[in-house]
Structure 1
Amino acid sequence: MNRYLAFDIGGTFLKYGVVAENMTVVETNKVKTPDSLEGLLRTMEEISHLNNEVKGVAVSCPGAVSPEGIIKGSSALHYLHGPNIKHLIEDRLNVPIFMENDAHCAGYAEFWKGAAKGKKDVLVMVLGTGIGGAVFKNAELHKGANLHGGEFGYMLLNSDIHDSNDVWSRVASTKALVRVVAERKNIAVDSLSGEQIFSMAEAGDADCLQALDRFYHLLAVGIYNLQYIYDPEVILLGGGISARENLIEKIDEKLDGILAVVDLAKVKPKIAACKFKQNANLLGAVYGWLKEFNRSKVASI
C-alpha cells in the first residue's frame, strides 16, 4: 500500500506525518516552525530524507494557495507570500507535490471518510484564532475568483463598521473569546486560554458564562447567514473547540432563538462537528494529492 508524507505548516509548529492510502496515519510528529523560508525548506528536506519511500508529498498551509503554487492573501508566516512555494518544495524534495490551504485540507478529510462523506453541498468552518473554512459544491472544492472562497471570517455582522475588529473572526473566534474575558477581568490576554474559560464557566464564573453566551450567539448569527447564502446540506465545525461535547448543542439553541425572531426563516441550519481533529489537515492534504495525481484511486476508496 502506497504511503505519502504530509506536512501541515502552522504559525507555531510544522506538523508532519506518514499517511497510507487507507487513511491510516502511520506516524506523526512536529517541530517548531522555522523563522525563515530557507529554514522551512531545509527542515522539510531533512524530514523527507527520513521518509524516502513515500510516493508523494502533500502540504497543508495558511493563505490563499494559487494553482501555480504561489500563496496569496496573508498569514502569520510572512515569508510564505511572494515566491512560488510549491516549486521551491518540489526542487528540494524531488517528488510530486500537492499544496492547499489548511482549512480546505480539513474539508477534504471530511469528504474522504468524515462527516461530509456521501454529501454534495457542504460548508466546513474551522474555528481557532480566526474563522476559516471551505465551500464544497457537488463535492468539489470552490475556491472562488480571488481564491477567497471559504474565508468566512471576513464576514461583517454589524453595519456600524469602525475597523477590521468588526469582522466575524475578530468577534467570534476563540481568540476573541479570550480577549473579551481578559478585558472584563482586567488581566493580560496571554495569562488566559480558551480551555481555562470553559473550565471557569463550568465552575460558575459570571464573566466567562456571559462571554460564552455571547460567543455562541455570534457564531449562530454567522452560521445563519451562511445557510441562507449557500443553503448547504450541513455546516461542519472544526478546529480544537469542535471537540467540546456541548458546542453544537449551544449553537443550536441560539439558532432556535434567531429563527423564532426572524419568522421569515423556515430552514434551520444543520450543524455538526467535524470527525477529524488533530490530523485533519494531514489527511486532507493526502486526499488532495490523490485527487490531483491519482483520481482512479480516489474513486475506489
Structure 2
Amino acid sequence: METNSLGIDIGGTFIKYALMDKHYRIKDKWKIETIKHDTAAAFYDYICSNIKSLDEVEKIGISAPGLIDADSNVKSYAAPNVSVMYGTNIKHEVSKRTNKKVAAINDAKAAGLCEFELGNAKGYKSSAFLIIGTGTGGCICDENGVIYGKDAFAGEFHNMPFVNATIGGLDKMGDYASITGLINVYNAKAAGDDQVQYGYEVTQKYLDGDRIAVSSVEEWIRSIVAQLIVITVFYNPEVICIGGGISEEDWFIKKVSEQYKATCIAFFEADFITTEIDKCKYNNDANLLGAVIKASF
C-alpha cells in the first residue's frame, strides 16, 4: 500500500488537513473549526481526533502561528484559540498520539519552505518571503533552506521596528503593511458611514477608481515597499516572494514591483539593486505543503 504524508495547518479560525502522496500531490483535504480549549492536552486531542486515514500516513507535518523553533517548540503566544499551545512541543504532542514521525514549523516559514522547494524561489541561493495577511509573516532562506536564527526569530518581518514620532517610540512596520493596516488607513480617511471590515472591500474600491481607496492603497503599498527595502538592506536576496491572498492579484504584484524598483533608485541614489520581486506560486496550500516538506527532512 502506498504511504502518504499528512499536512496540518493550525490557524486561529480553522485547522486544515491535507493527505498527499510522495510527490506532494494532494489526495484529500478537509478542515475543522479551531475551538479554544482549556488545556494544551485537550487541544492536541482535538487535533489528532480529526485525522483521517491515519493507517495510510507515514509522517505528519504541522504548520502553526507564533514563534516555533527548529525542534518544534512553541516559544510565543499566537491567536487566542491556539494560545494554549505556548510552551509545548508540537512534535512530541502529536507523535505520542499518532505514533508517527512529526515535524512542526511556523506558518510563514512553511510557506517560504514550500516556495523554496517547489515554487517561485526554487533554484535561488538566497530568497525571502513576505506573507501579507492580518499581519505580515516572513521567512528567509539560503541555499540550504529556512534560516531560523538563534531564537527562531529570523524572518519575523512584522516586528521590524521604526521610530514613530506620533507615538513617541518604536512601532512595528507590519502593523502598516498588513491587510489590517490597509483597512485602518482607509477607515481613517473615509467618512463615518463608509467604514469597511475587509481588505478586499478597499481593493475593489481602488480598482473602481474611488478617490479615498486609491489614496489608501498607495499609502499602504509605500509601507509594503518600506518593508521590502529593509529586507533588501539586511539580506539582499536574489528574490523576495510575496504571499497571502492579495498576491494573487496581478495588478498588486506589478504595482509593488514597480514601486520597489523606483524607490530603490531614489533612496539609494543609484540603480544597483537587482533583487527580484515575485509572487508566491502556492498560496492556499503553501502552509500544508511546507509543513510536509519539513517533515520529510
TM over 0.5: yes
Q: What letter matches 1:248 in structure 2?
A: I
Alpha-carbon distance change, 194 to 221 in structure 1, aligned in 2, over 3 angstroms: same
Aligned 8 A contact 1:179 1:189 in 2: no
Q: What letter matches 1:252 in structure 2?
A: S
Which residue is equivalent to 2:206? 201
Q: What letter matches 1:34 in structure 2?
A: I
Q: 2:102 aligns with which of 84, 87, 97?
A: 97
Bigger shift: residues 117-126 or 155-164: 155-164
Report the 3-state secondary structure (helix = DSSP H, G, I; strand = E; otherwise coil) of the residue aligned with 1:212: helix
Aligned-pair distance for 1:149?
0.5
Aligned-pair distance for 1:163?
7.0
Report the 3-state secondary structure (helix = DSSP H, G, I; strand = E; otherwise coil) of the residue aligned with 2:278: strand
The whole-number CA distance in structure 1 between the counterparts of 2:120 and 2:142 is: 15
Q: What letter matches 1:102 in structure 2?
A: D
Q: 2:51 aligns with which of 36, 40, 48?
A: 48
1:153 aligns with 2:158: yes
Which residue is equivalent to 1:170? 175
Which residue is equivalent to 1:270? 276
Aligned 8 A contact 2:59 2:101 in 1: yes
Task: String of CA shifts for 1:144-182, please: whole Å, max 9, x gaps.
Answer: 011101101111244637378821111110111012212
Report the 3-state secondary structure (helix = DSSP H, G, I; strand = E; otherwise coil) of the residue aligned with 1:166: strand
Alpha-carbon distance change, 53 to 32 in structure 1, aligned in 2, over 3 angstroms: same
Report the 3-state secondary structure (helix = DSSP H, G, I; strand = E; otherwise coil) of the residue aligned with 1:71: coil
| Residues 1-301 of structure 1 aligned to structure 2 (within 5 Å) | 1-36=2-37, 37-76=40-79, 77-158=82-163, 160=165, 162=167, 166-187=171-192, 191-262=196-267, 263-264=269-270, 266-291=272-297
Report the 3-state secondary structure (helix = DSSP H, G, I; strand = E; otherwise coil) of the residue aligned with 1:65: coil
Q: What letter matches 1:15 in structure 2?
A: K
Q: What letter matches 1:279 in structure 2?
A: D
Aligned-pair distance for 1:85?
3.0
The whole-number CA distance in structure 1 between the counterparts of 2:262 and 2:213 is: 21
* TM-score normalised according to structure 1 size: 0.90
The whole-number CA distance in structure 1 between the counterparts of 2:194 and 2:72 is: 36
Identical positions, percent:
27
Task: String of CA shifts for 1:94-148, please: whole Å, max 9, x gaps.
Answer: 2111111111111111122211111111101111011111111123211001110
The whole-number CA distance in structure 2 between the counterparts of 1:164 and 1:177 is: 22
Unaligned runs of 5+ in 1: 292-301
Bigger shift: residues 197-206 or 30-39: 30-39
* TM-score normalised according to structure 2 size: 0.91
Alpha-carbon distance change, 24 to 189 in structure 1, aligned in 2, over 3 angstroms: farther
Aligned 8 A contact 1:33 1:40 in 2: no
Task: String of CA shifts for 1:204-260, please: whole Å, max 9, x gaps.
Answer: 211111010011111112111211211111001111111111122111222233134
Report the 3-state secondary structure (helix = DSSP H, G, I; strand = E; otherwise coil) of the residue aligned with 2:55: coil
Aligned 8 A contact 1:90 1:97 in 2: yes
The whole-number CA distance in structure 2 between the counterparts of 1:120 and 1:99 is: 24
The whole-number CA distance in structure 2 between the counterparts of 1:215 and 1:161 is: 18
Q: What letter matches 1:46 in structure 2?
A: S
Alpha-carbon distance change, 66 to 255 in structure 1, aligned in 2, over 3 angstroms: closer
Alpha-carbon distance change, 240 to 74 in structure 1, aligned in 2, over 3 angstroms: same
The whole-number CA distance in structure 2 between the counterparts of 1:142 and 1:169 is: 20
The whole-number CA distance in structure 1 between the counterparts of 2:98 and 2:193 is: 43
Report the 3-state secondary structure (helix = DSSP H, G, I; strand = E; otherwise coil) of the residue aligned with 1:192: coil
Aligned residues, how many? 291
Aligned 8 A contact 2:72 2:103 in 1: no
Aligned-pair distance for 1:49?
4.9
Bigger shift: residues 192-201 or 33-42: 33-42
Report the 3-state secondary structure (helix = DSSP H, G, I; strand = E; otherwise coil) of the residue aligned with 1:272: strand
Aligned-pair distance for 1:8?
0.2
Q: What letter matches 1:235 in structure 2?
A: I
Aligned-pair distance for 1:78?
1.4
Bigger shift: residues 72-81 or 5-14: 72-81
Report the 3-state secondary structure (helix = DSSP H, G, I; strand = E; otherwise coil) of the residue aligned with 2:46: helix
